[in-house]
């Protein structure tokens, strides 16, 4: 597998804004996770990101694998409401 992009994930950081508060992670490839309530969730997002193959790889299999891991994906919530 050829991987040109380096993924150096930083440790989860705490965002304390007047409007947004939570844990997030950033990667050297430009990836930014959404904010989570706990540091653990942010760390999970980081691990998740590092497991995701480059876009050139077939998506189906991994997409399904990720969907299983995430308990409540964003799109599910939106679908409900
Ligand atoms: Zn990355």
pLDDT digits (tens, 9 = 90+) for 30-76: 999 999 999 999 999 999 998 866 666 556 666 666 655 556 666 76
Residue 3 binned pLDDT confidence (cut-offs 50, 70, 90): low
Q: Are 66 and 48 in contact (CB under 8 A)?
A: yes
Distance of CA 81 from the midpoint of ligand 1 (Å): 31
DSSP SS3 for 27: strand
Distance of CA 71 from the midpoint of ligand 1 (Å): 22
Alpha carbon distance 10, 20 (integer Å) = 20
pTM for this structure? 0.56
């Amino acid at each position: 597998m050829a991987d040109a992009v380096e993924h150096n994930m930083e440790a989860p950081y705490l965002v304390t804004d007047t409007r947004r508060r939570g844990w997030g992670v950033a990667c050297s490839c430009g990836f930014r996770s959404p904010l989570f309530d706990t540091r653990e969730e942010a760390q999970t997002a980081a691990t998740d990101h590092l497991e995701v193959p480059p876009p050139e790889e077939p998506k189906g299999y991994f997409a399904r694998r990720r969907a299983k891991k995430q308990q409540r994906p964003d799109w599910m919530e939106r679908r409900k409401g």
